[in-house]
Amino acid sequence: MKKILVIGSAGQIGSELTLSLRDIYGGENVIAGVRKTKPSEKLTETGPCEVVDALDMDGLVSVVKKYNIDGIINMAAILSGTGEKNPMLAWDVNMNGLINVLEVAREYKMKQVLVPSSIAVFGPTTPVDDTPQETILKPTTIYGVTKVAGELLGDYYVKRYGLDVRGLRYPGIISHETLPGGGTTDYAVAIYYEAIKNKKYTCFVNADTRLPMMYMPDCLKATIDLMQADFSKLKHHCDFNVGAMSFSVAEMAESIKKFIPEFEISYEPDFRQEIADSWPNSVDDSAAREEWGWKPDYDLDAMTEDMLKAIEEKHKKGLI
Ligand code: AKB
């Protein structure tokens, strides 16, 4: 790919992915697509930035033409928590945005499209431990429904039009650069911020809630490794399970206490408990390991140490 457009560049994954891709492909070759008119300085200073809304086909086409885009990464999505509050918005952004991206990619003969999926494709009837690659996909959230449909749609464009579409089922992503917004796994980021700021955290899911999680450096590695994998070697396309860690909230709190002994946690589960309960504990990612060599680097304590250090720095600088 010569010119990549990242839609959703201001988001939790998009913001860091855009910068990593600029390091690899050159700043001017990775266009940050943002919905905000005021993106961060890091984005504007390292390469081109454009206002892009995947729902606005004319706007999307004009950016594609302006930069001769030959690859799109569509990171714009309404996540599980916000989706349950506004199902029609989730359907609109996640489905109509996606079909616009796929259609523009088909029409302009793009080299690649990356369409993220999520552990939200699974549901309460899916096996919960080491969830297989091929399994029951009956999610009970609108976000999950759009992610299952998105995987199928991406695979359809591969088969029907020969378009190179790829995607992975992200677990909860933990990072300290840009806050996540509207997801169920957001507690796994908030807990670190609150540990630094207030030495305590009230969690919106219970102590035993165990979900697959991944630290941002592993998330970037997984995304970029999949993008760079040899297409002819892929048996799957838009639905790779990718695992890294699996831990309960209580285990997270214990990990934080190793660094901040006075840290306290309490629990006030809300509507997101039911969503978390419908997702797996851990996933079997052997297809990703076999087809493109996936292997994570971080475990819980290594991530905790790194997260706390980075957030402490922000706190000292008065940024949070
Ligand atoms: C969410 O919690 O909705 C997301 C996800 C697991 O896709 N972080």
* Any atom of ligand 1 within 6 Å of the Cβ of 120: yes
Residues 75 and 222 in one domain: yes
Q: Are residues 135 and 195 in the same domain?
A: no
| Domain identity same for 117 and 133 | yes
The CA distance from 72 to 281, in Å, is 31
Residues 56 and 184 in one domain: no
Known catalytic residue at 298: no
Q: Does residue 119 line the site of ligand 1, with CB under 6 A?
A: yes
Catalytic residue (one of 25, 67, 108, 143): 143
Q: How far apart are the first and last CA of the chain?
A: 37
Q: Which of 53, 5, 62, 3 is nearest to 32 (CA)?
A: 5
Residues 81 and 167 in one domain: yes
Strand, coil or helix: what is 42?
helix
State whether 304 and 199 are in the same domain: yes
Take atom 6 of ligand 1 and give the residue whose Cα is closest: 172
Please work out whether the CB of residue 184 comes within 6 Å of at least one atom of ligand 1.
yes
The most distant pair of C-alpha atoms in the chain lies apart, rounded to whole Å, by: 58
At how many degrees (to 10) do helices 97-107 and 142-161 cross? 10
CA dist., res. 249 & res. 272, Å (int)? 14
86 and 186 assigned to the same domain? no
> Is 136 in the same domain as 205?
no
- Ligand 1 atom with the smallest distance to the CA of 184 is 2
DSSP 231: G
Confirm or reject: Cβ of 170 under 6 Å from ligand 1. yes
**Rounded Cα gap, residues 296 and 217, in angstroms:** 9
Both tokens assigned to 296? 């994570």
Give the separation between CA 149 and CA 105, rounded to whole angstroms: 18
Cα 171 to middle of ligand 1, angstroms:
7
Most ligand 1 atoms within 8 A of CB, residue of 173, 211, 242, 270 to mutate: 173
183 lines ligand 1 (CB under 6 A): yes
Indicate which residue's Cα is closest to atom 4 of ligand 1.
Answer: 183
How high is the pLDDT of residue 82? Answer: 98
d(C-alpha 255, C-alpha 273), whole Å: 22
**φ, ψ at 71 (rounded to 5°):** -155, 140
What is the Å distance from ligand 1's center to 186 Cα?
A: 8
Indicate if 207 and 223 belong to the same structural domain: no
* pTM, two decimal places: 0.97
Confirm whether 205 is domain-assigned: yes
**Cβ(80) – ligand 1 distance below 6 Å:** yes
Cα separation, 278 vs 143, in Å, equals 12
Closest residue to atom 1 of ligand 1, CA basis? 183
Six token digits for residue 81: 């928590």
User: Rounded to an integer, what distance in angstroms lies between the CA atom of residue 70 and that of residue 80?
Assistant: 30
275 Cα to the center of ligand 1, angstroms:
10
- Residue 193 maps to which CATH number? 3.90.25
Q: Measure the CA angle with vertex 185, ends 181 and 187; round to 5°.
A: 85
Q: pLDDT at position 39, please? A: 85
Answer whether 145's CB lies under 8 Å from 139's CB.
Answer: yes
Is residue 131 classed as helix, strand or coil in its secondary structure? strand
The total domain count for the chain is 2
Q: Is residue 224 part of a domain?
A: yes
Spatial distance between the Cα atoms of 128 and 49, rounded to a whole number of angstroms: 41
- Whichever domain contains 17, its CATH number is 3.40.50.720
Tell me, in angstroms, the distance from the centre of ligand 1 to residue 184's CA. Answer: 6
CA geometry: angle at 285 spanning 284 and 286, to 5°? 100
172 lines ligand 1 (CB under 6 A): yes
Distance, in Å, from the CA atom of 8 to the CA atom of 76, rounded to the nearest integer, reads: 4
How do the pLDDT tens digits run along the chain, 320 residues long? 899 999 999 999 999 999 999 999 999 999 999 997 678 899 999 999 999 999 999 999 999 999 999 999 999 999 999 999 999 999 999 999 999 999 999 999 999 999 999 999 999 999 999 999 999 999 999 999 999 999 999 999 999 999 999 999 999 999 999 999 999 999 999 999 999 999 999 999 999 999 999 999 999 999 999 999 999 999 999 999 999 999 999 999 999 999 999 999 999 999 999 999 999 999 999 999 999 999 999 999 999 999 999 999 999 999 99
Domain that holds residue 250: 176-213+246-282+299-316
Q: Which residues contact 145 (CB under 8 A, 6 or more apart)?
A: 139
Residue among 95, 77, 76, 93 at smallest CA distance from 8: 76
Question: Residue 291 CA to chain centroid, in angstroms?
Answer: 20
Ligand 1 closest atom vs CA 180: 8
